[in-house]
Amino acid sequence: MIVADQTKYLTDTKRHFEILDGLRGVAALAVVIFHFMESITPDLKDNFIAHSYLAVDFFFCLSGFVIAYAYDVKFAKIGIANFLKLRLIRLHPLVIIGVVLGLICFMLDPFSSLFEEYSAKTVVMFITSCLMIPYPAVEERYFNLFHLNPPTWSLFWEYVANIFYALFLVKIRNKVLWGLVTIAAVLLCFEAIRSNNLLGGWGSPSVAAGGIRVFYSFLAGMLIYRMNWIIKNPLGFLPLSLLLSLAFLMPFVEKFNWLNDLVTVLFYFPLLIALGAGSLLKPAYLKVCRFSGAISYPLYMVHYPFLWVFHSYVLQNNPPVNEMIAITVVGVPLLVAFAYCIMAFVDVPVRKYLKEKFIPRREANQYKQGS
């Protein structure tokens, strides 16, 4: 059943989609495990969570939905300048934190000599990463667009999507949005068939794939909100978490991988967001969803510098699989705890200070439903 009264259901500024927050945390956790597994078993066919790279597409789709929900109605009152300031305050402190962590791990990595080789470029890597300027400098590490903290590549495209939203997308009619989604879907099909996956976007050889991925998923998320595709259902957080996890856990089959990725991104993720937005949350899972949502972005942005050290250790020592699995089992909860500390003691206070300094209090009270 689709919710009938869009205005009442979606423009209530007090409403928050806790289940979607919880699902975002599940996706972030899947990304962390996937990155550990990349070092343990580089061949995706042997990776039990091989499709977790699609979590980025889920993030993009969820972002499109939440941005449209949070700002479509009141964007005219907020204005472009305040919107962009709000997005910078929400996103950029953790970008800087991730880059600083990346610099520290790069310089102090005891299992790699790459810093000595690229020391002359390190300052440039640091500055460009802080300013969100792609700089694929390190050949030995696959020419990541942002070597010091590779996940920043998706934040780069998130910024691009937010700018386009402020300048153009917020104003367009639904017919135009439908047309753009159709074009984006065609491009996504082309990319999936050409590459046999939707894995690209993080490095210089596949940078265009990142634009295609955000183009479709962000617009699809907006379309879910605009068309009021909110499906009321009794599933709740745990069943929806399982359904999302199944997308990440499906086996990697080389011959049909392009089709699996395409169906997941084109239809399955938008469906999950529509179900998550319309599902009922049991009170017992409220704190879990809130914690999961709160920790998702910090975890995503601070985990990878430590993964570089783990990757260096694996390359240098070729440890047995059991040892690498043990490191993963211990490392994942430690990274969650570390991300929580970064969020609580650095990110939240910094964002609070910046919001009080740069956003008028009267206007700031309108913006509590962010992404």
- On the question of pLDDT at 144 being above 60, the answer is yes
Counting residues of the chain whose pLDDT is more than 90, the rounded percentage is 91
Counting residues of the chain whose pLDDT is more than 70, the rounded percentage is 93
Tell me what the mean pLDDT of segment 133-150 comes to.
95
Tell me what the mean pLDDT of segment 308-335 comes to.
98
Per-residue pLDDT, 359: 85
Per-residue pLDDT, 11: 40
Return d(Cα 219, Cα 239) in angstroms, integer. Answer: 26
Tell me what the mean pLDDT of segment 219-233 comes to.
97
Average pLDDT value for the chain: 93
Per-residue pLDDT, 15: 76
Return d(Cα 278, Cα 224) in angstroms, integer. Answer: 12
Return d(Cα 333, Cα 331) in angstroms, integer. Answer: 6
Say what the pTM is: 0.94
Return d(Cα 105, Cα 77) in angstroms, integer. Answer: 43
Split at pLDDT 50, 70, 90, the class of 365 is: low
- On the question of pLDDT at 132 being above 90, the answer is yes
Per-residue pLDDT, 362: 56
> What sign does the dihedral 95-99-105-111 (CA atoms) show?
positive
Task: Report phi then psi at 319, rounded to 5.
Answer: -70, 160
Cβ-based neighbours of 109, under 8 Å, separated by 6 or more: 115, 308, 309, 312
- Residue 201 Rama label (left phi>0; alpha psi -120 to 50; beta): left
Cβ-based neighbours of 291, under 8 Å, separated by 6 or more: 25
Burial of 205 (0-12, 13-18, 19+ CB in 10 A): exposed
